[in-house]
Every structure is written in structure tokens, then in C-alpha cells.
Structure 1
Amino acid sequence: MRIGEAAQRTGTTARLLRYYEQQGLILPGRSENGYREYDENALGRIVQIRDLLQAGLPTRLIRQVLPCISTPHSSIRFSGLTLEMVALLEAERVRLTARIDCLTRNRDEIANYLAALRENTDV
């Protein structure tokens, strides 16, 4: 399938698919006329990339992790795993945990503020 259909089926945009390619995250095939061609495996990989980006992982880290993930939401292969990659992933996990803690505090404060508003107004 061509880029427009791949974008639609994965909930992304053609521009993002070209960006993923530029970053070395995906490598679509090419038709005789040079159009990008995506198969079902590529669609799964695109969804993985989108999910990892939404989780807050930077593309530089995703590029390193993708070869260790065999298919979307399934088992992880450990071939090619290095101590450096483990350290990078651990640092990213710590960073994400801190971010989650901050977001949780902010959400709770907003909830408290809304509760106080409702107690004191007719909202």
C-alpha cells in the first residue's frame, strides 16, 4: 500500500512516515515509479514507533530499541543488546517515572482545585 493508506491505517500522517524513514526507524519498499510501499509488517512497526513516541521515548532511543522488539506488543529478543543500551533504557525509565510523578501531582492539584470550585459555586 502507498503512504497515504499506510498513514490512515496507522493513525499518523504521511509527513510523519517520511520523518520515521529519515530517522532510520522504518525502511519502506519502493515501487518501480519510486513510490513508497508499505506492507502489513511495516504497519505494525509504525504503530510501535508511534506508541513509543507517545510514551515519551526519543527517536534516538527508539532506533536502538526497535531491533530488539520482534513484533508489536509481543516478545522481546535480546540479540544485539549492549550494556550501553541497558543503561540508556534505565535512564529513560527514570526520566519517564519522574515525568509521570510530576503529571500525577499536577492532575491531583487540578482535581483539588475543581472540587473546591464546585463546593463554592454552582458549576
Structure 2
Amino acid sequence: MRIGELSKATGVSSRALRYYEQQGLLRSERRPNGYREYAPESAEVVAFVQDMFHAGLSSDVIRDILPCAGDEHPRGDCAELLTRVRQIRDELVRQEHRIAERRRRLDAYLAYGYGARQLPAHAGAVR
């Protein structure tokens, strides 16, 4: 399929697809007329890449884990790459906990009352 067809099938812009190619995340073959030709499974690859970008992975990490996620023979150690992805996931969990704590503090402030003249004793503690 050509780039416009892949773009339509995936909802990803042609510009983004070309970027994915530049980053080594997607492959195409050039036809004699210069058009890019993508394999039918390219739509699945694009969906995977999008999922990983939305999960916060960089193109470098995605490029490394693609062979482990597909039918290709991996170039590297997939167990090591999975460890790397787990570390990224664990950092996201830590960030979620920090954000939840911040939200709880704001909720407590709002529950106490905006513009109150006196704060509870524990509210002024610096953390």
C-alpha cells in the first residue's frame, strides 16, 4: 500500500509516517516511480508505534523493542529490553503516585475553604 493509503488506514499523517521511517520504526520499499510501498502488516506496526509513543517511550526505545514485538529475529537481548521497558513503566507509576499526592493536597486545601484566614497546623509544613 502507498503512504496515503497507510495514513488513511491508521489515522496517522503521512508526515508522521515519513518520520517513523527516518527513525527506523517503519519500512517501505521505493517503487520505480519513487512512491513508497508499505507491506500490509505496516498498519499493525504503526498502531504499535503509536501505542508506545502514547505510553511515553522514545523512538530509540521503540526501535530497539520492535524486533522483539514482531516476527523478525531480534538483533538484541529481548529480556534486557523488557527490563528497560519495565523501568520506564515503574517510573510512570512513581510519577502517578506523586501526582495523586499533589491532587490530595489540593483537594484538602479546597475542602478547607479557599481564602480562609487561618490554615490548619499541618498545612504550613514544608515538604
Relative to the length of structure 2, the TM-score reads 0.68
Choose 86-95 or 53-62, whichever is displaced more: 86-95
Please name the residue that 2:18 is paired with.
18
Please name the residue that 2:116 is paired with.
none
Residue 96 of structure 1 and its aligned partner are, at CA, apart by 1.9
Residues 106/14 of structure 1: CA separation in 2 closer, same or farther (3 Å cut): farther
Residues 111/19 of structure 1: CA separation in 2 closer, same or farther (3 Å cut): farther
Percentage of pairs with the same residue: 37
Q: Does 1:97 align with 2:107?
A: no
Please name the residue that 1:38 is paired with.
38
Residue 114 of structure 1 and its aligned partner are, at CA, apart by 9.8
Q: Give the conservation status (yes or no) of the 8 Å contact 2:3–2:37.
A: yes
Larger radius of gyration: 2
Distance 2:69 2:85 in 1: 14
Relative to the length of structure 1, the TM-score reads 0.70
Residues 2/105 of structure 1: CA separation in 2 closer, same or farther (3 Å cut): farther
Counterpart of 2:15 in structure 1: which amino acid? R
Gaps of 5+ in 1: 72-76, 116-123
Alignment of 1:1-123 (within 5 A): 1-70=1-70, 80-81=76-77, 84-102=80-98, 104=100
Q: Deviations over 1:79-115 (max 9, x none)?
A: 8425642442232122221233345556778889999
Q: Between Structure 1 and Structure 2, how many residues are aligned? A: 112
Residues 7/114 of structure 1: CA separation in 2 closer, same or farther (3 Å cut): farther
Q: Give the conservation status (yes or no) of the 8 Å contact 2:10–2:46.
A: yes
Distance 2:100 2:40 in 1: 37
Gaps of 5+ in 2: 112-127
Distance 2:30 2:107 in 1: 51
Distance 1:60 1:93 in 2: 16
